[in-house]
Amino acid sequence: MPEPTPFTERAAHIWREIRSDERPRIAPYAEAAPLKPWKWDRPLDKLLGRLMVDPPLGRGRLLERATAIAEGFTDLAEMGDEAFRIRCRDMRRKLGREGLAEPLVDECLALIREATRRELGLSHYPVQLMGGLVMLSGGIAEMATGEGKTITALLPAITASLAGSPVHVFTVNDYLATRDLAKLEPVYHLFGLTTGLIVEGMEPPQRQAAYRADVVYGTNKEIAFDYLRDQAQLGKARGAARRRVARLAGRAQSPLTMRGLHFAIVDEADSIFIDEARTPLILSQEIPADDDGLYLSALELVTHLEEGRDYAVKMADRAIELSERGKRAVQQLAAGLPQRMWRIRQAREQLASQALSALLLFQRDRDYVVVDGKVSIVDESTGRTMADRSWEGGLHQLVEVKEQVELTGMRNTIARITYQRFFRRYRRLSGMSGTVREVAGELWADFGLKVKPVPTNRPRIREHRGHAMHRDQEAKWHAVADSVAVIRQGEGMRPILVGTRSVADSESVAAVLDARGIPYRLLNARQDGEEAGVVAQAGQLGAVTVATNMAGRGTDIELSEEARKAGGLHVILTAFHETARIDRQLYGRAGRQGDPGSAEAITALDDELYRHYGGTVAKIVGRSAKVWPIENGPAEWLRQWAQGAAERKHASVRRQVEVSEDKLREQLAFSGSA
Ligand SMILES: Nc1ncnc2c1ncn2[C@@H]1O[C@H](COP(=O)(O)OP(=O)(O)OP(=O)(O)O)[C@@H](O)[C@H]1O
């Protein structure tokens, strides 16, 4: 046995700890001690962020080790299929006996690499092996977009699983969880590992069966809700007593869905750990709808209020603030109304604020779509609808009345949790993302996770064509259509992806393209049936794809050979998001794996980001620009200013969510059915 290195010692210790829960003695997660969060304030977080990002790992020992794994173990390629299968299966015994000793981990990674080559025809690059090693040691691997994180996840998932720890792999949406697992399943099976998939709409027995697998794929929302459901179950004293009796009687049947929170691998870690952390998860039960006209009367009542005098619209906070005068006006207007709610001061004021929010802040085809007579919330960062999710505090019902669809019941909170708390309950956390550096401080402070940048396999050659800002939306859509036409004609029909922030915007682009007779395919929350087909076509010569963030993170647009020769994919961003990380994810659809590609931004001064966060800078830019469009310099200053303000706002919301559970009720919260 070689001398143990610090890595071996630490890893062996961690895995001994994890293995203490080895099946069938998996402890319920209630017993797993939550990680203790660090609580520092923002400037310190920022400083820590800089300290927490290690220098690039390019020249370090990890690259040497990864290269040695890739270049060593040459005997594996020559083994017959059966002999190779036996060797893979034998790994479980070895890891089980010796823990994560470095030579054993290296051998295991080499086996996974070879198994992936045999099953998928892809062989991990040394940089992907580095990513795997980072995650095994409980860190976040910063790997650029398109570097192959899907197959990188196999490395820690299989190794941890063979060492005896149940593994959860988190993706940002059901489509990616399903796609990734379908692709990778043969590799897991070669090692004798079982796999499970958790997606929306599954019944509890199906979920319970899926969680019994060694490696489970799912989204943070689905898995966290299952955890909440189990928590609610554990919290019921009668349920606990019954379970104890069942255990004493030798009936091991567990009413819990999950087996515990052990090892988590989080793809797109910044989206899940940071962006999602602003929305707490609330498990609730529906109370039958009782339509006594309350919501309609609330919507009618607030039409008598005046902005500025009775209330202020806080766009950045997504909130309505009633003034003292407004509160008095609500009291007077509600005096003759029959419903009891109007007699209670707090309820009355909350209802009026929610009614104003439903009318002024929540827009159809941006925040929600109406499909089959139902209001479905659209998650902007993924571009997808979230069936069975609803807004709290009567807001959902007010939007339903506004849209004249059937009223659903109110919801009663059963259990709640923040993502920060949920993920801290895992015994070991790890993750990867291409856009994680600027939130490294928060990841360290909230989860104790360190970001380690991994170099790209081949240099990135994506070309950035700058940022042009137009005066208004109409001018912007025409500029987008101009750019599409010029690139199609002048650059050999390269494929183009036009990214929009909302369903409505994607339809505005579609309209200008229709007017010019340019063929395109649309991908948004209303037209999502053909997702795989649209994505498969998007990298072909002549393809124009107009999409919301459904074609953002994780979407792999494979180029045809002709499209690659013509210059690869061109991405047009039509509105910046509140965080630059989401923009970079959209750009990252082009120029993947060292392929050619280009990107540009075409925005307008009246874009949502600038309206909400542009402040005085937006006014100065708007006033001073004589000739439109304005390009790069001033346009970029405004973007940076507005995104900086939005990021600060979001960070403070995340902090509030953590600091005070009570304030959660004031936030926009989603609820899932119990
Ligand atoms: N080792 C490899 N050899 C050849 N091709 C690879 C390798 N690894 C990944 N690829 C290919 O690279 C493409 C991008 O992979 P993948 O979608 O996993 O990237 P990603 O890092 O997850 O991207 P994103 O950041 O957008 O989610 C895929 O088409 C995949 O088949």
Mean local confidence (pLDDT), 609-637: 85
Predicted ipTM of the assembly: 0.98
* Strands ordered across the beta sheet of 390-391: 390-391, 670-673, 281-287, 410-417
What backbone torsions phi and psi does residue 164 show, to the nearest 5 degrees? 105, 5
Mean local confidence (pLDDT), 622-644: 85
**CB-ligand 1 contact for 125 (6 Å cutoff):** yes
Alpha helices in 471-579 (DSSP H): 473-490, 503-515, 531-537, 561-566
| Ligand 1 atom 4, closest CA | 122
For 226-240, 341-355, 490-504, which range has the lowest pLDDT when averaged over its residues? 226-240
- The minimum-distance atom of ligand 1 relative to the CA of 589 is 26
Residue to mutate (ligand 1; options 433, 556, 583; most atoms within 8 A of CB) = 556
Residue 424 vs residues 75, 96, 257, 263, 649: alpha-carbon distances, Å: 41, 26, 19, 11, 23
| C-alpha–C-alpha distance, residues 67 and 55, integer Å | 19
Within 8 A by CB and 6+ apart from 64, the residues are none
570 DSSP β-pair partners:
496, 598
| C-alpha–C-alpha distance, residues 191 and 571, integer Å | 39
For 217-226, 272-281, 525-534, 652-661, which range has the lowest pLDDT when averaged over its residues? 652-661
Instruction: Provide the b/e sequence for 531-560 (b: ≥16 CB within 10 Å).
Output: beebbebbbbbebbbbbbbbbbbbbbbebe
Residue bearing the bigger pLDDT, 2 or 319:
319
Residue 431 Cα, ligand 1 centroid: separation in angstroms?
16
Residue 58 has pLDDT above 70, yes or no: no
Give residue 245's pLDDT band: very low, low, confident or very high (50, 70, 90): low
The owner of tokens 């053909």 is 530
Residue 381 has pLDDT above 50, yes or no: yes
| C-alpha–C-alpha distance, residues 66 and 80, integer Å | 25
Count of CB atoms situated within 10 Å of the CB of 249 = 8
Give residue 97's pLDDT band: very low, low, confident or very high (50, 70, 90): confident
Residue 327 has pLDDT above 90, yes or no: yes
| In contact, 318 and 362? CB cutoff 8 Å | no
Count of CB atoms situated within 10 Å of the CB of 121 = 7
Residue 122 Cα, ligand 1 centroid: separation in angstroms?
10
Mean local confidence (pLDDT), 225-252: 68
What backbone torsions phi and psi does residue 575 show, to the nearest 5 degrees? -165, 135
The pair of structure tokens assigned to 12 is: 């062996």
**CB-ligand 1 contact for 383 (6 Å cutoff):** no
Count of CB atoms situated within 10 Å of the CB of 461 = 12
Residue 592 Cα, ligand 1 centroid: separation in angstroms?
8
State the pLDDT at residue 224. 93
Residue to mutate (ligand 1; options 119, 120, 143, 151; most atoms within 8 A of CB) = 151
Within 8 A by CB and 6+ apart from 642, the residues are 576, 609, 610, 612, 613, 614, 615, 617, 618
CA 548, 417, 281 angle in degrees (round to 5)?
30
Mean local confidence (pLDDT), 192-219: 95
- The minimum-distance atom of ligand 1 relative to the CA of 588 is 26
State the pLDDT at residue 34. 39
| C-alpha–C-alpha distance, residues 513 and 481, integer Å | 6
419 DSSP β-pair partners:
none
Percentage of the chain modeled with pLDDT above 90: 56
State the pLDDT at residue 658. 72
| Ligand 1 atom 27, closest CA | 554
State the pLDDT at residue 194. 97
Residue 38 has pLDDT above 80, yes or no: no
Residue 64 has pLDDT above 80, yes or no: yes
Count of CB atoms situated within 10 Å of the CB of 638 = 27
For 140-154, 258-272, 612-626, which range has the lowest pLDDT when averaged over its residues? 612-626
State the pLDDT at residue 393. 80
CATH of the domain spanning 7-13+39-282+419-453: 3.40.50.300
| C-alpha–C-alpha distance, residues 8 and 105, integer Å | 9
| In contact, 450 and 10? CB cutoff 8 Å | no
Within 8 A by CB and 6+ apart from 509, the residues are 477, 480, 481, 498, 500, 546, 574
Which residue type sits at 44?
L
DSSP code per residue over 341-376: GGGSHHHHHHHHHHHHHHHHT--BTTTEEEETTEEE
Strands 521-523, 597-604: pairing is: unpaired
271 burial via Cβ count (<10 Å: 0-12, 13-18, 19+): buried
Count of CB atoms situated within 10 Å of the CB of 204 = 11
State the pLDDT at residue 7. 46
Whether 463-604 and 7-13+39-282+419-453 are alike in CATH topology: the answer is yes
**CB-ligand 1 contact for 558 (6 Å cutoff):** yes
State the pLDDT at residue 282. 80
**CB-ligand 1 contact for 173 (6 Å cutoff):** no
| In contact, 141 and 135? CB cutoff 8 Å | yes
Residue bearing the bigger pLDDT, 401 or 7:
401
State the pLDDT at residue 215. 97
Residue 491 has pLDDT above 70, yes or no: yes
Within 8 A by CB and 6+ apart from 565, the residues are none
CATH number of the domain at 290-408, out of 3.90.1440.10, 3.10.129.10, 1.10.1760.20, 3.30.530.20? 3.90.1440.10
Give residue 585's pLDDT band: very low, low, confident or very high (50, 70, 90): very high
- The minimum-distance atom of ligand 1 relative to the CA of 128 is 1
Residue 622 Cα, ligand 1 centroid: separation in angstroms?
41
Alpha helices in 252-293 (DSSP H): 269-270
Percentage of the chain modeled with pLDDT above 70: 84
Domain positions in the chain: 7-13+39-282+419-453, 290-408, 463-604
Residue bearing the bigger pLDDT, 668 or 590:
590
Residue 160 Cα, ligand 1 centroid: separation in angstroms?
22
For residue 569, the SS3 value is strand
| C-alpha–C-alpha distance, residues 239 and 518, integer Å | 61
- pLDDT tens digits, 159-180: 999 998 999 999 999 999 999 9
Instruction: Provide the b/e sequence for 302-316 (b: ≥16 CB within 10 Å).
Output: beebeeeebbeeeee
What's the pTM value of the predicted model, to 2 decimals?
0.83
| C-alpha–C-alpha distance, residues 562 and 137, integer Å | 41
The pair of structure tokens assigned to 226 is: 């299952």
Q: From the CA atom positions of the chain, what is the Rg in Å?
A: 26
Could you tell me which of 230, 224, 154 has the C-alpha nearest to residue 195?
154
**CB-ligand 1 contact for 151 (6 Å cutoff):** yes
State the pLDDT at residue 253. 53
Residue to mutate (ligand 1; options 114, 149, 581; most atoms within 8 A of CB) = 149
* Mean residue pLDDT across the chain: 85
Residue to mutate (ligand 1; options 109, 114, 122; most atoms within 8 A of CB) = 122
Is the CATH number of domain 463-604 3.40.50.1820?
no
Count of CB atoms situated within 10 Å of the CB of 40 = 16
Could you tell me which of 320, 306, 292 has the C-alpha nearest to residue 401?
292
Virtual CA dihedral for 515, 517, 519, 520, nearest 10 degrees?
-20
Residue 310 has pLDDT above 50, yes or no: yes
State the pLDDT at residue 53. 60
Could you tell me which of 460, 397, 474 has the C-alpha nearest to residue 671?
397
Separation of first and last alpha carbons in the chain = 52
Virtual CA dihedral for 443, 444, 450, 454, nearest 10 degrees?
40
DSSP code per residue over 144-173: -TTS-HHHHTHHHHHHHHHTT--EEEEESS
Residue 15 vs residues 22, 69, 98, 99, 429: alpha-carbon distances, Å: 10, 21, 10, 6, 13
| C-alpha–C-alpha distance, residues 310 and 329, integer Å | 8
* Strands ordered across the beta sheet of 569-573: 521-523, 544-547, 496-499, 569-573, 597-604, 463-470, 630-631
